Structure 1
Amino acid sequence: MKKKFIPLALASLGVAASAAAQTQPASKPSDPVVPQVTISGGRQDDMVERRNSTAGKQIYGREELDRNGDNNIGDVLKRLPGVTLGGRPGRGGEVRMRGLGSGYTQVLVNGERPPAGFSMESLSPDQVERIEIMRGPVAEHSARAIAGTINIVLRDGYQVRDIQVKASDRLEQGRHSPELSVTIPGKSGALNYTLSASLNVNRQHDSSKTHNTETDADGGLVKEQFLHSESAGTNKMLHLVPRLSYKFENGDTLNFQTFLMHQQGRSNATTSLDQPLPLLPAGRPGGPEYNLAQQRNDNDVTFLRGFGNWVHRLQGASKLDVKFGFGLGKRDSDSVRNQYDYGGALLDRFTDTDHTKDKSLNTGGKYTTPLGAGHLLAAGWDLEASNREQLRVSLDKDGKPQFADSGENLQADTRRVALFAQDEWDITPQWSASLGARWEGIRTTSDRSDGSIANTSKVFSPLLHAVWKIPGYEKDQVRASLTKSYKSPNVQDLIAAPALSRLNSATSPDRTGNPNLKPELATGLDLAYEHYLGRNGIVSISGFVRKIDDLIRRDLVQRQTELGLRWVSAPSNVGKARTSGIELEAKFSLAELMEDAPQVDFRSNYSRFWSNVDGIPGPDNRLDQQARQTANLGMDYRLKDIPLTLGAGYNWTPPIRTRVSEKQTVETSRKRVLDMYALWRFDSRTQLRISANNLLADDATGYNLVYANGLAAQAASLNPTYTQWSVRLETKF
C-alpha cells in the first residue's frame, strides 16, 4: 500500500486543484495578473516564461532558491520534478534527471559547461539567480543531454536593489559550519554592477562499515573481511561572483561576469581491517594487505570562469549576440597512507600527489531575425578549446611507482565546434513550433608514455518542439518534442591514468580508461499536458521515451599489471538500451483557488521510470543506477496573525538494484529525506530562518555482488547519515 500511496496522493492533489479552479467565478483568475508584471523587473514571470516557451522549460527563480534556506544548489535540485541526487543524504552527489546520471544529464552554468571538477556542493544558492530545466535538447545548447539539461544562471542583478547580507551556521554532530554571504548592487551612469561573495567553513565527520565475503561454487566461505572507516575534515571555501553590464548610446549592451571559487580541504581517515578467513598474517600472500591504515589528505582547488556577451541591435528587429569566455582551474592534492600489521609494524607507505591544470577558451554567437510573419530565425556557432595537464605520482615506501605513467606529465587537448539553426514559428494562435538542427564535433587528443591517443566524434541532431494551446481552454496546452541527443565519453574515461584500489578485489577494482569509446546516440520523444492554476500554479503530466545506441558500460576483468594480477574496471560500448517514464507535477496556492483559504502553498511531483539494456540478462538490466520511482511533497504555510512561515519537504527514492553486466549486480538503499524550516520576518528587510535537514537520518546501505572465476564476491556497506540544524539571519540595507 505504501508504494501506491504517493502517486495516488499526487494525482488527487492535481484533480482537487483543477476542480477548485473550475468552481471559481470567471473574474477570480484575473485578480493576480496585475502584480505579475510589476515584480518582474523587465523579465517575464517564471511561470509565464515556462508557459510561453516552445521547447519545454521549467524555471525556478529566487523564490524557490530562498524557500528552504539550502546550503548548496544540490539541495535545491533534489526537490524539483524528475531530479534525483546520487550519494548519501547531506553529502550531495551526482545530479540526475529521469534517474540518469554519469553524463546523461547536462549541467550548464550560464549556458556553458562548467570546468572539470565542478560540483553542485561547491555552489551556494546565494550566487544563483535562477535554475532552468529543459527536458529535451535545444539548438542553442549542446545536444549532450539525453536525460535533459539543467542551466544554472548566476546572480544577474536585475532584481537586486539593496545590499543583502546573510549569516548562517550549521550544526552536525556537534560540529559548526558557519557561512557569510554578501550581495552588493550598484550603478554608475550606463554601468550596472553586482558583486556577490560568500565564505564558508564546512566541518564534517563520516564513518562506514563494509563486510566482504567470497564463496566457492559449493557455497563454502573462503574469504571474509570486516572494514571500519572513520574520517573527519574541514573545507574552507570562498566564492566571488562580480557582474558588469554596460549599455552604449546606440543601444548595444556589453555584459561580463566571472565566477571564482577557491577551496582548501584537510582531512584524516583511519581504516581497520579484520580478516577471519583466511587466517593469515597481514601483508602475507593470501592474507589481508594490512590491519590498520591511517591516511592524511590535503587538497587545494581554484576555479576561475569568465562569461561575457555583446548584444548588437541591427536594422528592424534583428539582433546579434556574441558571447565569449575563458576558464582556468588548478587542483593540487597530496595524500600519505601508512599501513600497519597486527603488531603495529609498518607494512607500507603510499604517497600520492596530483597536480592538474585546466585551461579553456570559448566563443560563440547567435543571430536572430524575423523571417516573415510569425517566424523568428536564429543561427549561430560555438567554438571551444581546452587543455589539461596532469602530473600524478604514486610511490610506495621503497620509492617504487605504482603505475606505468607515474611521474609523467600527461596532457589532453579537446576541441569542440558546433553550428546550429532554428526557426521559431507561430503557426496559428493555437499552434507554435520550433524546428532546429545542431551539428557538433569533438576531438580529444592526449600524449602518453605509451603513445598518442586520439578520439573524434561528430553528431548531427535534428530537433522539433511544438506546443498546442487547446481552443476554449486558455490555461491548457499540450507539448511534443522529437529530438536527437547524445552522450560523449568524458576525458577521464578516454585517457585516464589508472585509479588504484588499495584493497583490490572484484568488488573494489582499479579503474582505467578506453581511447576507443564512441558517443552514445539517442532518439527521443517527449509529450506533456499542462494546466495552469492562478499565478504560479500548474498541474501537468508528461512522458518520454529514449532509444540509445552504443551504450557505454564498465566491464570487470582481471589483468596482469605492474602490481601483479589485478581486478580492473574499464568502459566499453556494449550495445542498445531503451528508457521511458512518466512524470506528474502539481503545484498551487490555496489562496488563489479558494476564498478565505489559508496561505498554504503545495508542491508535489512523482516520476516513474523504466529501462532495459540489450545484451545483459534480466532482471534489473537497467540503465546505470536509474531509480524506478522518485517523489517529492512540500508545503509552506504563512500564518496571518504573526509574521511566521512554516515549511516542510519530503523526498523519497526506493532502493535501486542494477545488473551492470553478466557478472555484477549493484544495489543501493532507499532514500527518505525530510526537511523542515521556520521563517520569522522582523520587517520587510530582516528575517531569521531556522532549518532542520535530513531529520529521518536513515542509514545508507549498499550491496555489490560479482560472480567470476568460480567465486561469488560480495561487499555489503553501511554508511550512517546525520541531521543538520542551521540558523540563518538575512537582512537588506
Structure 2
Amino acid sequence: MSRLLLALAPLCAWTLSAAQTPASPAPTTPATPPKSADAPAPAAAAPATDKTGNKLDRVEVSSGPTANSRRRNSTASKIVIEREDLEKYGDVVLGDVLRRLPGVTLGGGRPGRGGDIRMRGMGGGATQILIDEERPPPGFAVEDLPPDQIERIEIYRAPTAATGTRAIAGTINIVLREPLQKSNHEVRMGVGWDRNKPQVDASWTRNLKWGGPNGDEFVGAISTNGAVRRFFNNVDSGNRITDTETGEVTEQNTQIGTSENQNTSLNGNARLRWKYSDTLSFNLSPSFFLSQNEGSSQYNSEGTRFRDVHGENDAKNHNLRLNLSADYRPQVGESFSLRLGTGTSKNTRNSERRDTTTIGGVTTERLQQDHNSVEEDQTSLNGRWSLKTAQEHQWVTGAELERSQRTQLVDTLVNGAVLPGLVRFGNTLVSRNERFAAYTQDEWSPSKQWSLYAGLRYERIETTAEATGNLPEARNVSQVTSPLLHLLWKPEAFPKDQVRLSLTRSYRTPNLQQLVARPTINATYPDGPNYQTHADRAGNPDLKPELATGVDFSVEHWLPTGGIISGSAFVRDIKGTFRNDVMLETVSWDTVQRWVSRPRNLGNARRMGFEFEFKARMDELWEDAPAELQMMLLRFNFALFKNKVEGIPGNSPRLDQQPRGTLNFGIDHRWKAWGQNFGSGFNLNYVPAVREQVTEYLRNDETARRQLDAYLSWSSGSVRDGINWRLSMANLTARDAESRSEGISTNSVTQRQYLTESWSRNKTFRVISLRADMRF
C-alpha cells in the first residue's frame, strides 16, 4: 500500500497544481492585478523517484498568485517583486531594491543611500511611479518609502490605459502591505553604520480581523516605521576659467571641507476593509509621512572669490493622506469601484551661508539666508467599471479627476536685505493644477496561445500660476490621446516560451518648477558676469509635453521551477524633447547679461535599448547537482542604451544624465551549518561612465559606478516565535564618484571667450546593518 501511495504521489501533486491553474488562464488586467494576502512562496517539493529509480520532474504547488504567475499571465510586459525579494538584502531605501533589476538606475545620491528611481536611464519624470495604482501625493519623495511597508512592486515596461501613459520609460506600481495571513504582529528593528555614523530604524505591522460569522467582516493592517540616520559627506569641488586666446588661467577656486546631516522620519499607513455584504465592501486607507533633516557644512575655498564658508540647513516635510473607496460586485466577473482621495502637505527648507568674499582686493563678510515653504492641498476622484465575459474578454473603463492648489513662499536675504534683482518677482507664488483622464481597455484571449490588449486613454492637464511681482500670470494646457496595443503569444510547440509585442503612445509633462519658477541666482557668482557651468535657473511657461511613440518586443523562456531567460528591446521616438538648456540672456535681476538654465523643447530624440535577464536555480541548469547546491539561485541581467538627439553635435548627445547601460550579477544560496539554516548572497551592480553633450558648447562627464552588496541571514528560536536575523553589507568596494563639466562661455562685458571647467569628487562609504524581524 505504501508503495502504491508513493507511486501516486507525483500524479496527485500534478493534479492539484493543474486544478489551481486553469487550462486557459485568463490574463490578469495590468491595471488591476489580483490582490494577495501575504501569499506564501511556492513550496519546493523534493525530487521524487519512481520504483525504477528514475528521477521525476519537480512539481511546484502554490496556494496563491506568485510573482511568476502575475508576470506570465499579464498581457503587458512587467516584472513583479514580492516580499521575499524586498527583504532579501535588508535594504532601508526603496531605490536600493530596484537598482538590481534590468534597466533600473538611481539618479543622484551616493551608493547605499538611494536616489530618485529611473527606468531605462531616463530621469526627469520619464518614469511614472504609483502607490496602489495612484500617483503619490505632492511633496512626497516615493524613493524614501521604507521597504517594510511594501507588499510587492510591479514594473511595467510599457504603459497601459488604466495605469496611465505619463510613462515614457515605464511605470513602477508600489502595492502597500496587505493584512498578515497567519500572524497578528510583525516587528522589525535595525541598526547600522554609514562611515561610523549610526543608523537606527524600527517598524511594526498589526493585523486586524473581527466581526461577522467568519470573523472577517472587518479586516485590515496598520504599519508604522521610524528611523534616525546620520550621514557624513566630504566637500571637494572647484572650478577653473581659462582665456581661450592666451591660455591664461584667470580664475580658479577649490572648496575642501566636510558636511554632516541627520534625518529623522516617521511614516505610517493603514488598510482597513469593511465587508458590508457579499457584493459590497468599503475601504479606508489613511497614511502620514513626516521627516526632518538638519545639516551643516564647513569648507575652505582657495581662489579669488570665497574662503571660510560655513553653511547650516534644516528641512521639514509633513504629508497626510486619506483614501476612501467602495467596491461593488453585482455578479461574478463584474465590479464597480469608486475612490475618493484627499491630502495635504507642507515642506519648509531653510539654509544659511556665511562666507568671506573678496572682490577687487576688498574683503567683506557675506551672509545669505534662504527660506522656501511649499503648502499643497490635493483632492482626487476615480471611478472604474470592469467586466469579464464568457468569451474571454475583460473590459475596464474609468475616469479620473484631480485638483490641487499650491502656495510657495520664497525669501532670499543677503546681509539682511532682499536681493534688489529679485524684489520685483515677489516672494509668493500661487498655482493650481487640474487633471482629467478617461480610458477604456479590453483584454481578449481568443485561444490558449494568444492574448490581445487594446486600450485608449485621453488626459488633459491645466496648470495656472497667479501673477506676482514681475512674474505674469502663466497658463499651460496639455492634452494627449494615447492608443495602446499589447500582444502576447504562447507558441503551441514551445509551451515554456512567450513572445510579447507592444505598440504605445506615452508622454511626459513638465512639472510646476519647470513651468513657473522664480529665478534662482547662482551663489558662486551672485552678481555681475557668470559662466555656463555656474548658470542661474528659471522656469519656462511655454514648455510643451514630450510625446513618445514606442515599440517594445520581448521573448521569455520559462524554466521548469520558475527560472527565466528573457530578452527585451525597445524604441522610443520622442517629439518635442525638453531639457535644461543654458543660454546667455538679458535678465531683469542684473545689469549685465547672465547665463541662465531653462527647460526648453529642443526637438526630437530617439531612445533605444536592449535588456537581458537570466534567473535560475542550480537544479534547473545542472540535473545532477549536489543536494547542497540545488537551491542556489543565479541572477544576471544587463541593459544597453543608445540615444540620438537632434540639434546637438558630437558623439555623445544624450538625454539628461542617461547612462549607456547597467549590469547586475548575483548569487543567492540557502545552506545548513551548526544545526541552523542560513541564507547568503551577493550582488554586483555596475553603471558605466557617462558623457553627456548638453549643448553645442557644454559637456558633462560622470565616472562609472561599481557597487558590491552582500547579506547573511539566519533564524533563532522556534519556527513561529523565532527571530529572523539579517546582516547586510552595501557598497563593500567603496569608490569615489567624480563629475566634471566643460563649456565655452563668452563674457558679456569683454566679449572674450573662456574655457570654464568645474568638478566635484564625492567619497562613498560602506554601509553595514543588522536587522531582526519577528512575527507572533
The answer on 1:137 being equivalent to 2:159 is: yes
Matches within 5 A, 1:325-364: 325-341=341-357, 347-364=365-382
Structure-1 separation of matches of 2:565 and 2:311: 52
Partner residue, 2:392: 374
Going from structure 1 to structure 2, the CA distance change for 1:365 and 1:352 (only over 3 Å counts) comes to same
Structure-2 separation of matches of 1:567 and 1:229: 28
Q: Secondary structure at the match of 2:685?
A: strand
Q: Secondary structure at the match of 2:507?
A: strand
Matches within 5 A, 1:469-488: 469-488=490-509
Partner residue, 1:116: 138
Partner residue, 1:426: 445
Going from structure 1 to structure 2, the CA distance change for 1:665 and 1:146 (only over 3 Å counts) comes to same
1:398 Cα offset (Å): 4.0
Going from structure 1 to structure 2, the CA distance change for 1:270 and 1:309 (only over 3 Å counts) comes to same
Structure-2 separation of matches of 1:103 and 1:677: 32
Partner residue, 2:572: 546
Structure-1 separation of matches of 2:220 and 2:56: 38
Q: Secondary structure at the match of 1:621?
A: coil
Residue segments in structure 1 that go unaligned for 5+ positions in a row: 1-22, 276-286
Structure-2 separation of matches of 1:564 and 1:510: 14
Contact 1:405 1:448 in 2 (8 A): no
Matches within 5 A, 1:680-691: 680-683=714-717, 684=719, 685-691=722-728
Partner residue, 1:613: 645
How does the TM-score come out when normalised to structure 2? 0.86
Contact 1:160 1:185 in 2 (8 A): no
Partner residue, 2:759: 716
Going from structure 1 to structure 2, the CA distance change for 1:630 and 1:692 (only over 3 Å counts) comes to same
1:222 Cα offset (Å): 2.0
**Counterpart of 2:270 in structure 1: which amino acid?**
P
**Counterpart of 2:367 in structure 1: which amino acid?**
R
Matches within 5 A, 1:660-679: 660-679=694-713
Residue segments in structure 2 that go unaligned for 5+ positions in a row: 1-46, 212-216, 526-530, 747-752
Structure-2 separation of matches of 1:590 and 1:360: 50
Summarize deviations over 1:137-168 as a string: whole Å, max 9, x none: 00002200000001111112254633111111
**Counterpart of 2:550 in structure 1: which amino acid?**
G
Going from structure 1 to structure 2, the CA distance change for 1:344 and 1:68 (only over 3 Å counts) comes to farther
Summarize deviations over 1:265-313 as a string: whole Å, max 9, x none: 11111232111xxxxxxxxxxx41x212211111111112233432101
- Higher mean alpha-carbon deviation, 172-181 vs 436-445, is at 172-181
Structure-2 separation of matches of 1:120 and 1:76: 13
1:33 Cα offset (Å): 2.6
Structure-2 separation of matches of 1:580 and 1:160: 46
Summarize deviations over 1:599-641 as a string: whole Å, max 9, x none: 2111211101111101111210122221112011111111134
Going from structure 1 to structure 2, the CA distance change for 1:547 and 1:518 (only over 3 Å counts) comes to same
- The one of 295, 298, 301 aligned to 1:273: 301
How does the TM-score come out when normalised to structure 1? 0.91
**Counterpart of 1:291 in structure 2: which amino acid?**
R
Going from structure 1 to structure 2, the CA distance change for 1:440 and 1:181 (only over 3 Å counts) comes to same
1:525 Cα offset (Å): 0.3
- Higher mean alpha-carbon deviation, 256-265 vs 645-654, is at 256-265
- The one of 241, 245, 265 aligned to 2:273: 245
Contact 1:209 1:226 in 2 (8 A): yes
Partner residue, 2:228: 201
Matches within 5 A, 1:534-573: 534-559=560-585, 560-565=587-592, 566-573=594-601
1:24 Cα offset (Å): 12
Structure-1 separation of matches of 2:410 and 2:456: 41
**Counterpart of 1:669 in structure 2: which amino acid?**
T
Q: Secondary structure at the match of 1:403?
A: helix
Matches within 5 A, 1:109-258: 109-157=131-179, 159=181, 161-189=183-211, 190-218=217-245, 219-258=247-286
Matches within 5 A, 1:313-328: 313-328=329-344
Partner residue, 1:307: 323
The answer on 1:468 being equivalent to 2:484 is: no
1:130 Cα offset (Å): 0.6
Q: Secondary structure at the match of 1:616?
A: coil
Going from structure 1 to structure 2, the CA distance change for 1:405 and 1:142 (only over 3 Å counts) comes to farther
The answer on 1:622 being equivalent to 2:638 is: no
Structure-1 separation of matches of 2:160 and 2:764: 38
Structure-1 separation of matches of 2:712 and 2:398: 47
**Counterpart of 1:524 in structure 2: which amino acid?**
G
Matches within 5 A, 1:25-44: 31-34=58-61, 36-37=62-63, 40=64, 44=65
Q: Secondary structure at the match of 1:631?
A: strand
Summarize deviations over 1:242-267 as a string: whole Å, max 9, x none: 11011122321222222211111111
Contact 1:583 1:606 in 2 (8 A): yes
1:404 Cα offset (Å): 3.7
Partner residue, 2:85: 64
Contact 1:534 1:588 in 2 (8 A): no
Q: Secondary structure at the match of 2:521?
A: coil
The answer on 1:725 being equivalent to 2:744 is: no
Summarize deviations over 1:397-421 as a string: whole Å, max 9, x none: 1412362466532111000000000
Structure-1 separation of matches of 2:456 and 2:162: 9
- The one of 667, 670, 686 aligned to 1:635: 667
Structure-2 separation of matches of 1:676 and 1:630: 19
Structure-2 separation of matches of 1:258 and 1:620: 47
- The one of 504, 509, 524 aligned to 2:550: 524
Summarize deviations over 1:661-691 as a string: whole Å, max 9, x none: 1121111110000011111111433111111
The answer on 1:98 being equivalent to 2:117 is: no
Contact 1:132 1:152 in 2 (8 A): yes
